[in-house]
Amino acid sequence: MAQTNPPFMTGVPELLLLRLLAQREMYGYELVRAVRLTTGEAISLGEGVIYPALHSLERQGALKSKRKAVDGRTRVYYSLTALGRRRLERLQGEWQRIQTAVTAALENPGRA
């Protein structure tokens, strides 16, 4: 059980969170569903992935949080900082680089 280190997923949670939060502020539980939706159910991240990732990003200054009470529930809304936006851009570039390279290698492993 507990499939550890699933292929191609390293860095993906962070990238998706930053991308979603670049649009509007959201809270953890909401992000769990948003990831499933925006990836067309192809990627599903559990709370055990989302929450630690959010905390880590906040600790590093990429996100800032704000508690809000809604319908007697407490939500923690996250939004991007300037540092977070730069981080998103950098990560997005990395993704582009690797995605392009791997796809090219798969299609044409004979020549560069």
Partner DNA sequence: ATCTATACCTCTTGCTTCAAGGTATAGCCT
Partner DNA sequence: AGGCTATACCTTGAAGCAAGAGGTATAGAT
Contact footprint for DNA (CB under 7 A): 1-6, 9-14, 27-30, 45-49, 51-56, 70-76
Among 46, 61, 86, 94, binds a copy of itself (CB under 8 A): 94
49 binds a copy of itself (CB under 8 A): no
The distance between the two most distant Cα atoms of the chain, rounded to a whole number of Å, is 61
Please provide the DSSP assignment of 10-64 as one string.
TTHHHHHHHHHHTTS-EEHHHHHHHHHHHTTTS----HHHHHHHHHHHHHTTSEE
**x/- letters, 4..43, toward a copy of itself (CB under 8 A):** -xxxxxxxx-xxx--xx-xx-----------x-xxxx-xx
